[in-house]
Amino acid sequence: MRNMLITLIIIGIAALAGCSIVQVQHEESTVAHGSSVKLAVQQQIYNPEAGGDAPVVGLDGRYAATVGDKYHEGPQTKPESGQSVSEIIIGGN
């Protein structure tokens, strides 16, 4: 009976010691909800002239049209004469 009482006391002390540990400071690992809106508002306060109505300058119209056309056409590369990885795995010609 005495051994059982001592065991219960030791378990009780261990349980109380486990519950009384000081909580560790925890910082959020993700950005707080709504922080992007707050950041945008702060940036507008610091520099209200940042997004003006002036047109964007610096890209030639002909060059931009050529780049856009090439983008829509897609890559114009010729397939190489060797087998591709999928053909090697599948065993095709």
Tallying the residues shown for the chain, one arrives at: 93
Res 52: pLDDT: 73
Q: Is the confidence at residue 76, as pLDDT, over 60?
A: yes
Res 30: pLDDT: 76
Q: Where exactly are the structural domains of the chain?
A: 1-90
Which amino acid does the sequence have at 56? V
DSSP states of 47-68: -TTSS-SSPP-S--HHHHHHHH
Inter-residue contact 93 to 87 (CB < 8 Å):
yes
Res 7: pLDDT: 92
Res 92: pLDDT: 58
Please state, for a pLDDT cut of 70, what percent of the chain lies above it: 78
Q: Is the confidence at residue 41, as pLDDT, over 70?
A: yes
pTM, to two decimals = 0.28
Residues 6+ apart with CB under 8 A from 93: 87
What is the mean pLDDT of the segment spanning 37-44? Answer: 88
What is the mean pLDDT of the segment spanning 9-34? Answer: 76
More confident residue, 66 or 78: 66
